[in-house]
Structure 1
Amino acid sequence: MRDSDVHINRVDWLVVVIYFALVIIGWFNIYAAVYDSQAPQSMFDMSINSGQQLVRIGISVVLIILIMVADYRFFENLSLFIYLFFIALLVITPFIGKEVNGQVLSIGFGSFRIQPGEFAKLATALALAKVMERPTFDLTKTKDQLIAFGVLLLPVALILLQPDTGTAMVYFSLLLMFYREGFPQRYYILGFGFIALTLLSLGIENNLYLAGGIIAIVLFLIFLGKKSWQKTIVFSLIGVGLIAYSYSIDYVVSKLPTHQQNRIMVLFNPNLDPLGVGWNVTQSKIAIGSGGLFGKGYLEGTQTKFDFVPEQHTDFIFCTMGEEFGWTGSFVIISLFVTLLIRLVIMAERQKNRFSRVYGYAVISILLFHFMINIAMTVGLFPVVGIPLPFFSYGGSSLWAFTILLFIFVKLDSSRTQQLGRFK
């Protein structure tokens, strides 16, 4: 048997079945999101989103076949070329791309357009896997840390120029993979500390209260330090730094575009502007809550029918499921995603070389971030940042990018017995 042959008996079919289950259920929900009971159209009608999405699903199947019949070494050997190719596309996107709502995200010809930022996620995952596969690579070493973060941050910087904050955030999910590969734990503790301080800075209206709390903590730590003047100076400097950081957060937020400021403020005060900037989240929560235990029934969602939730077929597709199939339907979808992620972790841990393992955890990190943030966004636990639900939301670029991302790993896993062990 040649290396390029498909090893049917070693394909993880549970992952494949879950993928198609999510895609098909998503397709039905896309139709529900655009369904008009006064003028019903066929799901296969190419003039509506469900018909267009069906074509994209068909293209995804072709992509899966091409990936599975390719030699598994193809993705490793060309990983850096793929990365540089999409970096080049990100560079030219602001110049030749189509502007929509102040953002230049897509390039293409006529009606066929792609978003390079979506595909650059998988390119970055491949590039990081290639860089980290070296036996001498060590994320505890400063040099290797700089290399890894250089690969990670380059697409982030280019995407922020579009500007597309939501997509740029996704790349930082790869820090989960960094953790698995040995990135020092102290940096995560420090990072979570700054995240907590940032949230407090944004959530507390008067920073004087936060500053007072920090000063109280510093004084307490000085007392515990038995009044050592060295510790007093250190803790005082830390306190001043934290207070300065909290005020700098307010300054940075004040420089953001007005719509982004409003989205952040709505997170901490959902009732700030329920008929304006808070409309999407408010209506999404109403839709999900009104579904009850078993939902209103397929194509019977009133929030959906009357277009109360904007972007319900893309970023807010989950609320369609919640309204029409209730808690039960939502639980099924969440269970499918959780099962998929657990299975991917099992697959990543059984890989025979570091390239496949690193790539596997990159896939897990990206899918987990999208899954958690999208659902948190629809129930008001995270600002609206334009994060699609993998395999479920309407859109060609996101579906194709997620499909390629996942099935490259399925291919690597099915060929694991042929791979040479290259762990440190």
Structure 2
Amino acid sequence: MQSRIKGGLFQGVDFLAVLYYLLLVAAGCICITAASFDEETADFFAFSHFYIKQYMWVTAVLVVALVVLLLDVRYYHMWAYPLYIIGIVVMICVLIAGKEVNGAKSWIELGSLRIQPVEFVKIATALALARVMSNYSFSINRFGDLLRVGVIVGIPMLLTILQNDTGSGIVLGAFLFVLYREGLNKWLCIPILLIAALFIVSFLLTPMTLLVLLILICVASEAMMNGRWRSRIVYLASLALSAIVLSSFMGLIAPGTMDIYRSLLTVTLASLPIVAVYAYRTRLMNILLMAGLFVVSMAFVPATDYIFESVLKPHQQERILSYLGIVDKPQGIDYNVNQSKIAIGSGGLFGKGFLQGTQIKYNFVPEKHTDFIFCTVGEEWGFLGAVAVLGVMCLLLLRLMKMGERQEEPFGRVYCYSVAAILLFHVLVNVGMTIGLMPVMGIPLPFMSYGGSSLLAFTILLFIAIRLDASTRQFPST
């Protein structure tokens, strides 16, 4: 289907993407109404209601979306760097003198209006990233260019984490998928994902179990890379066995498992030169790569204790331990998620109907109109309603990726994929935490959660992509 009107102000606009956006905003308004409606309040249209405030925000946001569509695309390219710098300066100001809400010092208060600048910094970061990666001489696999990309994404991520808004900071990590799409070597992407996985697994397994697991993974990886299983397995298994025997012979094994782990790490470090000599003589540098990855992984495990105890806040520690099932506090840190799962599960196949959700109506679910808005979908609309909402989200994401693929310039492609990555991460984390598959991070569901600044930022983020795509379709290359 070609969503294009020939001539007029909206020539080239992808109206399917606009339709998906409007459906999600409308669904959000209905859910916010159900979540915040109070039967005891006589005035349905009182401004004190959250849903009335959201309706007003939707009206204003639609006007902003229209303005974004009418602006010349050259402005987005021209203002990419200035907007990024302004965003960083604002975030620094918020870090110094911002208002703290729910433990995160990431808000600006202007009278009765509260704005979270990081939502808009995501737009500026996506534009700056697109500007850098669209330079003629840019190469994703050149160290200097990759370092520039890392600085652009890393500065707002660090500032967000310093504001104690870890969830929004982690969202910026979604740009890794954009880099992968643009050709970043997978061997640079995979270790980053493995670090996150190793951090979680280190809480669930004993050090010795984790050691064996790392040996098996490295042996299997090296063997698959070379396709010569027998010789590689014998060599690396012999090396691991020699390290264990040598540590036993030298009396390095202490009663504690972590002491054993650290002793083996010491012996492995001492054995690394032997591996390097063997790899050099046989021209099999993959062995050295796997050995290095093995050592770094082993060294990272003890570091997780320091990160957990010294870097993370107490409530963040509790959320991780609760997510992993190590602690169980039904009336404490687990309360929100437990009530959320009860609400979604009670909706059944078809849901209870509009304003009929008991868990929502009687305030069993905290933050039911913001971060846990998906509970309202599950309880009142049921499984089919939840699937419909997620289906529209998926269609919008696929549309954004299609927009990216038909861009003729790298700037538009990188930006469209950045938008898709940010939205995808928000949906996965938000929906995942409401059903207990992800730790609670406190990030909104795009276009549906209550909040004017959130809705405005997501709308601008999306409609810039639609505008860039419309420009490409208006003036296709010949």
* Equivalence for 1:297: 353
State the 1:272 CA deviation. Answer: 1.0
The answer to whether the 8 Å contact 1:6/1:68 transfers is no
* Equivalence for 1:17: 19
* Equivalence for 2:375: 319
Amino acid paired to 1:372: L
Change (3 A) 1:91 1:108: same
Deviation digits for residues 17-72 of structure 1 (CA, Å, limit 9, x no counterpart): 11111111101101111123344652x43101101111111110111111112112
Work out the CA distance in 2 between the residues paired with 1:420 and 1:86: 33
Please list every run of at least 4 consecutive aligned residues from structure 1 whose deviation after the TM superposition is greater than 6 angstroms. 216-222
Change (3 A) 1:12 1:215: closer
Moved more, 215-224 or 190-199: 215-224
* Equivalence for 1:130: 131
The answer to whether the 8 Å contact 2:11/2:474 transfers is no
Amino acid paired to 2:450: Y
State the 1:193 CA deviation. Answer: 2.5
Moved more, 287-296 or 73-82: 73-82
Work out the CA distance in 2 between the residues paired with 1:11 and 1:288: 36
* Equivalence for 2:387: 331
Work out the CA distance in 2 between the residues paired with 1:292 and 1:48: 28
* Equivalence for 2:453: 397
Change (3 A) 1:195 1:109: closer
The answer to whether the 8 Å contact 1:18/1:340 transfers is yes
Per the alignment, in what secondary structure is the counterpart of residue 76 of structure 2? helix
Work out the CA distance in 1 between the residues paired with 2:217 and 2:76: 52
The answer to whether the 8 Å contact 1:352/1:419 transfers is no
TM-score normalized with structure 1 length: 0.92
The answer to whether the 8 Å contact 1:32/1:320 transfers is yes
* Equivalence for 1:352: 408
1:369 to 402, 421, 425: 425
State the 1:264 CA deviation. Answer: 0.4
Work out the CA distance in 2 between the residues paired with 1:328 and 1:402: 25
Q: Number of paired residues?
A: 415
Q: CA RMSD in A?
A: 2.3
Deviation digits for residues 284-335 of structure 1 (CA, Å, limit 9, x no counterpart): 1111111000011110111101111111111110011000110011011000
* Equivalence for 1:243: 298
* Equivalence for 1:53: 54
Change (3 A) 1:77 1:210: same
Alignment of 1:3-402 (within 5 A): 7-39=9-41, 41-42=43-44, 44-204=45-205, 206-214=206-214, 223-225=233-235, 227=238, 229-230=274-275, 239-255=294-310, 256-269=312-325, 272-402=328-458
Amino acid paired to 2:209: Y
Change (3 A) 1:158 1:336: same
Deviation digits for residues 185-216 of structure 1 (CA, Å, limit 9, x no counterpart): 11122223223322211233x43432354457
Work out the CA distance in 1 between the residues paired with 2:319 and 2:426: 18
State the 1:219 CA deviation. Answer: 8.5
The answer to whether the 8 Å contact 1:352/1:417 transfers is no
The answer to whether the 8 Å contact 1:280/1:309 transfers is yes
Change (3 A) 1:28 1:89: same
Change (3 A) 1:343 1:70: same
Change (3 A) 1:420 1:216: closer
Amino acid paired to 1:129: A
Work out the CA distance in 2 between the residues paired with 1:213 and 1:137: 39
Amino acid paired to 1:13: F
Amino acid paired to 2:234: L
Amino acid paired to 1:243: M
* Equivalence for 2:263: none
* Equivalence for 2:246: none
Work out the CA distance in 1 between the residues paired with 2:303 and 2:345: 38
Per the alignment, in what secondary structure is the counterpart of residue 31 of structure 1? helix
Per the alignment, in what secondary structure is the counterpart of residue 47 of structure 1? coil
Change (3 A) 1:346 1:40: farther
Work out the CA distance in 1 between the residues paired with 2:14 and 2:338: 40
Change (3 A) 1:270 1:399: farther
TM-score normalized with structure 2 length: 0.82
Moved more, 151-160 or 211-220: 211-220
Per the alignment, in what secondary structure is the counterpart of residue 8 of structure 1? coil
Per the alignment, in what secondary structure is the counterpart of residue 10 of structure 1? coil
Deviation digits for residues 204-255 of structure 1 (CA, Å, limit 9, x no counterpart): 3x43432354457678987532757527995776545423312221331122
Work out the CA distance in 2 between the residues paired with 1:70 and 1:219: 55
Change (3 A) 1:6 1:187: farther
State the 1:418 CA deviation. Answer: 5.7
The answer to whether the 8 Å contact 1:140/1:184 transfers is yes
Deviation digits for residues 108-146 of structure 1 (CA, Å, limit 9, x no counterpart): 421122111110000000011111111210111001000
The answer to whether the 8 Å contact 1:201/1:250 transfers is no
Work out the CA distance in 1 between the residues paired with 2:24 and 2:296: 47
The answer to whether the 8 Å contact 1:7/1:415 transfers is no
Moved more, 362-371 or 218-227: 218-227
Higher Rg of the two aligned structures: 2
Change (3 A) 1:216 1:77: closer
The answer to whether the 8 Å contact 1:103/1:164 transfers is yes
